[in-house]
């Protein structure tokens, strides 16, 4: 049923043709036990490879069940091998990390057997080779003889008519060798066994035919027992591997080599951590940049004659400093509270008129700075009286002057109210609707805290945990709140995740580029719409949501600070450079306001955003390559395994899918591991403050995206690796590994 007629095989090597087999004629029948001998290099392995369909032949014909095979493609031979051939190797070619059971089971899993059919079959065959005691032992712990018995069991479970064994006893001592041959003979009755061995004695009692080879030719073909039948070789049945079996193998492979699992875990963990840290840090610094730039960048007054100054040692200005600055020849005047120059305020009539509320936008100054003549009214006599400079054409002035002059005004977003406009000076430019408000020094003092607040970051700690403060949470001073206490919006209790906040302490910390200050205060009450005015002294509930009201003194301790930044206005703009030099000589850091005229920062922020994305992508790509190479090194140790799968009949897609599943599970576990570390840091179980901070900048969408990237990456790796396994033909891969 297996017949070779005049088969010749040549090896082409660097232009030299050598002959591997020359005119081989051989007929083999079911039930035969054929022993091939011959000195090394005589062509025994070549013959077995041709018979196994692992190597091609160039001349002659090979018939299986009467079918001719010389036209077979590599794929045809793969099918041929699955149907007819089981190989046993000198070096066993088992999966060392699998148990005996798993090694035998592997063939059935690949051949699409269902679980319920597998178990009995595997256990029976293990019993037959006498390894029941070791069925759950890892193959690596077995002796050579036992290993070869596992290999025989694996060959048997494939249920092919032909078993090809190339020096199966070559690595065994004589006793185990005898054992192995005995078993092989016993289990392979009625099959065709072709075996290469140097030790004739061991096989003599079973051999039906002994063939001796020399120089690629058969020089002796001695029939010992006559086997006279014409039984056809019965094809082994197999199906496509099932999805379930792929998962079984994928899961098994994930965990069966623990060191490999841990290594892969750390590689994937490292990628997730690195991307998270890189991306989070980028966002954090972008955010810090936004906060710290406020004070110096958002300037409303960009006049040519304005120079912004800070002290080079970072301390606040003293009266002495101001005297020295004012003494410089080109200095016109110094705006000590320089922040007010750039801080926009809204004045609003307290009582709404029927048609609309009177209001105006503008900038605050001390009444001391007012020069010139009033067009209407008089100069202030009280702290709550103000004069303004504004456009004659402003609606409120042009059409409602009487109402305007009799109204009480409040400054929006502050607790300052009850102001009266007593004098108006018209603006030279009719179309400039920005006002200048001249208020008492008392009010300037009260506003300074508000201005500092506008330019500071707020941090709130409750119950020893930092509260996620969004921009809508504000703090305001109130004369109705006792010192050391706060009254908060009832709705803030949700943000504090505690409904019972009364008499609990809350820590409030403010910081800006000049100073940091914090205070502990007791929550005495919460306000709602109905008790808002009574508790806080403020009028408009709707405009004061999510506010923490505190005593003015406490508020001032946070925000009422000496000036760290001032502005110098000069007389002659042409001499600005020499004035800047003079200021530098006074140990100051001067900057021209006009330098800020072009807002580069919008584009700069845009660039930073784009850079974040680009750098993140580069980081991912670089990480991909680094981890690809690391994973490749880790997987290299698995090459034998996957080649074994291939020898046992797994296709490229099978191998790829099984590896996919393995890497998918491994990377998912690593991702979840990293996520757990992040979550534990966020809820302060782990003390990684920085990581906790970064969590504020990474959204759920971005975590999901990162997970998808990791999964795609692991799929690409398994694809490349599988390609490599299948790059060479089955025969070459096989021969390399064997």
Q: Under the criterion CB under 6 A, does residue 46 sit at the interface with ligand ADP?
A: yes
Q: How far is the CB of 163 from ligand ADP (least distance, A)?
A: 18
Out of Mg ion, ligand ADP, none, what residue 191 binds, judged by CB under 5 to 8 A for its kind, is none
Segment contacting ligand ADP by CB under 6 A, of 38-46, 339-347, 402-410, 598-606: 38-46
Complex with Mg ion: residue 93 or 146, whichever CB lies closer: 93
Q: How far is the CB of 168 from ligand ADP (least distance, A)?
A: 13
Alpha-carbon span 531 to 514, nearest angstrom: 37
Alpha-carbon span 16 to 14, nearest angstrom: 5
E runs forming strands in 528-672: 547-551, 565-570, 588-592
Complex with ligand ADP: residue 21 or 410, whichever CB lies closer: 21
Complex with Mg ion: residue 198 or 326, whichever CB lies closer: 198
Element (H, E) at 256: helix 243-256
Give 732's contacts (C-beta < 8 A, 6+ positions apart). none
Q: Under the criterion CB under 5 A, does residue 45 sit at the interface with Mg ion?
A: yes
Q: How far is the CB of 158 from ligand ADP (least distance, A)?
A: 23
Q: How far is the CB of 730 from ligand ADP (least distance, A)?
A: 14
Element (H, E) at 644: helix 639-647
Quick one: tokens of 176? 């185990």
Segment contacting ligand ADP by CB under 6 A, of 10-18, 228-236, 292-300, 594-602: 10-18
CB atoms under 10 Å from CB of 237, counted, come to: 11
Q: Under the criterion CB under 6 A, does residue 253 sit at the interface with ligand ADP?
A: no
What is the footprint of ligand ADP within residues 126-185 (CB under 6 A)?
A: none
Give 406's contacts (C-beta < 8 A, 6+ positions apart). none
* Pick from 91, 167, 67, 270: nearest CA to 677: 270
Contact flags string 194-233 toward ligand ADP, x per CB under 6 A? ----------------------------------------
Q: Under the criterion CB under 6 A, does residue 14 sit at the interface with ligand ADP?
A: no
Count of positions on this chain that bind Mg ion (CB under 5 A): 1
Q: How far is the CB of 170 from Mg ion (least distance, A)?
A: 9
Q: Under the criterion CB under 5 A, does residue 49 sit at the interface with Mg ion?
A: no
**What Rg value do the Cα atoms of the chain yield, rounded?**
44
Segment contacting ligand ADP by CB under 6 A, of 41-49, 58-66, 129-137, 645-653: 41-49
Q: How far is the CB of 659 from ligand ADP (least distance, A)?
A: 29
Give 471's contacts (C-beta < 8 A, 6+ positions apart). none
Out of ligand ADP, Mg ion, none, what residue 46 binds, judged by CB under 5 to 8 A for its kind, is ligand ADP
Burial of 133 (0-12, 13-18, 19+ CB in 10 A): exposed
Out of Mg ion, ligand ADP, none, what residue 526 binds, judged by CB under 5 to 8 A for its kind, is none
CB 202 within 8 A of CB 35: no
CB 320 within 8 A of CB 347: no
Among 27, 41, 244, 606, binds ligand ADP (CB under 6 A): 41
Burial of 375 (0-12, 13-18, 19+ CB in 10 A): exposed
Q: What is the DSSP code (8-state) at residue 99?
A: B
Quick one: tokens of 475? 């703090």
Beta pairing, strands 33-37 & 192-196: parallel
Question: Which residue's structure tokens are 């921009």?
Answer: 471
Q: Is 190 helix (H, G, I), strand (E, B) or coil?
A: coil
Out of Mg ion, ligand ADP, none, what residue 230 binds, judged by CB under 5 to 8 A for its kind, is none
Residue 193 pairs in a beta bridge with: 33, 163
**Count of residues for the chain?**
738
Quick one: tokens of 335? 């705006």
Complex with Mg ion: residue 50 or 645, whichever CB lies closer: 50
Segment contacting ligand ADP by CB under 6 A, of 34-42, 456-464, 538-546, 571-579: 34-42
Among 1, 2, 20, 358, binds ligand ADP (CB under 6 A): 20
Q: Under the criterion CB under 6 A, does residue 53 sit at the interface with ligand ADP?
A: no
CB 398 within 8 A of CB 381: no
Helix, strand, coil content of the chain in percent (nearest 5): 45, 25, 30
Q: Under the criterion CB under 5 A, does residue 452 sit at the interface with Mg ion?
A: no
Quick one: tokens of 71? 């036209």
Q: How far is the CB of 647 from ligand ADP (least distance, A)?
A: 17
Among 45, 148, 391, 627, binds ligand ADP (CB under 6 A): 45
Q: Under the criterion CB under 6 A, does residue 40 sit at the interface with ligand ADP?
A: yes
Complex with Mg ion: residue 45 or 733, whichever CB lies closer: 45
Q: How far is the CB of 45 from ligand ADP (least distance, A)?
A: 3
Q: How far is the CB of 260 from ligand ADP (least distance, A)?
A: 32
Complex with ligand ADP: residue 328 or 731, whichever CB lies closer: 731
| Cα angle 731-39-27, degrees, rounded to a multiple of 5 | 65
Among 43, 250, 380, 477, binds ligand ADP (CB under 6 A): 43
CB atoms under 10 Å from CB of 597, counted, come to: 12
Out of Mg ion, ligand ADP, none, what residue 18 binds, judged by CB under 5 to 8 A for its kind, is ligand ADP
Q: How far is the CB of 45 from Mg ion (least distance, A)?
A: 3
Binding site for Mg ion (CB under 5 A): 45
| Contact residues: ligand ADP, CB under 6 A | 11, 13, 18, 20, 38, 40-46
């Amino acid at each position: 049923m297996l017949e070779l007629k005049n088969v010749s095989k040549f090896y082409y090597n660097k232009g030299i043709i050598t002959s591997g087999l020359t005119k081989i004629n051989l007929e083999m029948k079911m039930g035969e036990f054929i022993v091939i001998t011959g000195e090394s290099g005589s062509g025994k392995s070549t013959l077995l490879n041709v018979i196994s369909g692992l190597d091609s032949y160039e001349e002659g014909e090979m018939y299986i069940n009467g079918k001719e095979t010389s036209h077979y493609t590599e794929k045809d031979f793969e099918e041929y091998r699955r149907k007819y051939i089981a190989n046993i190797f000198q070096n066993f070619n088992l999966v060392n990390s699998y148990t005996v059971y798993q090694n035998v089971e592997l063939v059935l899993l690949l051949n699409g057997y269902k679980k319920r059919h597998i178990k009995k079959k595997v256990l029976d065959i293990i019993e037959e080779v006498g390894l029941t005691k070791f069925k759950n032992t890892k193959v690596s712990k077995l002796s050579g003889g036992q290993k070869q018995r596992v290999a025989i069991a694996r060959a048997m479970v494939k249920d092919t008519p032909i078993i090809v064994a190339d020096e199966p006893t070559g690595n065994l001592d004589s006793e185990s060798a005898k054992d192995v041959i005995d078993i092989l003979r016993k289990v392979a009755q009625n099959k065709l066994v072709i075996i290469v061995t140097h030790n004739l004695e061991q096989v003599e009692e079973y051999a039906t035919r002994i063939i001796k080879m020399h120089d690629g030719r058969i020089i002796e073909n001695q029939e010992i027992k006559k086997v006279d039948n014409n039984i056809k070789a019965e094809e082994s049945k197999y199906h496509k591997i099932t999805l379930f079996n792929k998962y079984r193998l994928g899961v098994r492979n994930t965990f069966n080599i623990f060191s490999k699992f841990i290594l892969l875990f750390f590689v994937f963990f490292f990628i997730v951590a690195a991307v998270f840290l890189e991306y989070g840090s980028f966002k954090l610094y972008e955010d810090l940049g936004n906060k710290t730039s406020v004070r110096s960048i958002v300037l409303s007054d960009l006049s040519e004659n304005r120079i912004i100054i800070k002290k080079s040692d970072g301390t606040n200005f003293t009266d002495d400093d101001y005297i020295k600055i004012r003494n410089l020849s080109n200095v016109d005047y110094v705006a000590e509270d320089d922040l007010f120059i750039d801080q926009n305020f809204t004045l609003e009539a307290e009582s709404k008129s029927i048609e609309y509320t009177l209001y105006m936008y503008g900038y605050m100054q001390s009444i001391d700075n007012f020069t010139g003549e009033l067009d209407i009214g008089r100069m202030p006599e009280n702290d709550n009286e103000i004069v303004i400079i504004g456009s004659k054409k402003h609606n409120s002035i042009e059409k409602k002057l009487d109402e305007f002059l009799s109204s009480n005004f409040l400054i929006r977003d502050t607790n300052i109210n009850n102001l009266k406009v007593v004098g108006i000076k018209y603006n030279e430019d009719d179309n400039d609707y920005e006002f200048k408000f001249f208020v008492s020094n008392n009010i300037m003092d009260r506003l300074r805290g508000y201005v500092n607040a506008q330019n500071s970051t707020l941090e709130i700690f409750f119950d020893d945990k930092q509260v996620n403060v969004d921009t809508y949470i504000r703090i305001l001073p109130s004369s109705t709140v006792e010192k050391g206490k706060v009254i908060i919006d009832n709705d803030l209790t949700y943000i504090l995740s505690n409904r019972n906040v009364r008499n609990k302490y809350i820590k409030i910390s403010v910081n800006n580029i000049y100073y940091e200050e914090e205070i502990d205060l007791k929550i005495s009450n919460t306000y709602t719409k109905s008790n808002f005015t009574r508790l806080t002294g403020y009028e408009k509930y709707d405009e004061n949501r999510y506010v923490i009201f505190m005593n003015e003194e406490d508020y001032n301790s946070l925000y009422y600070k000496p000036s760290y930044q001032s502005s110098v206005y000069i007389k002659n703009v042409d001499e600005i450079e020499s004035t800047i030099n003079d200021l530098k000589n006074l140990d100051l850091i001067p900057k021209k306001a006009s330098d800020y005229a072009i807002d580069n920062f919008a584009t700069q922020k845009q660039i930073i955003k784009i850079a974040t994305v680009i750098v993140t992508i580069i980081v991912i790509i670089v990480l991909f390559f680094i981890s690809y190479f690391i994973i490749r090194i880790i997987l290299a140790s698995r090459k034998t395994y996957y080649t074994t799968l291939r020898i046992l009949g797994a296709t490229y897609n099978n191998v790829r899918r099984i590896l996919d599943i393995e890497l998918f599970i491994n990377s998912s576990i690593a991702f979840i591991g990293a996520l757990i570390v992040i979550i534990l840091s966020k809820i302060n179980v782990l003390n990684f403050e920085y990581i906790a901070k970064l969590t504020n900048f990474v959204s759920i969408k971005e975590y999901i995206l990162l997970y998808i990237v990791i999964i795609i990456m692991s799929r690409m790796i398994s694809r490349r690796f599988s390609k490599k396994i299948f790059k060479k033909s089955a025969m070459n891969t096989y021969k390399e590994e064997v």
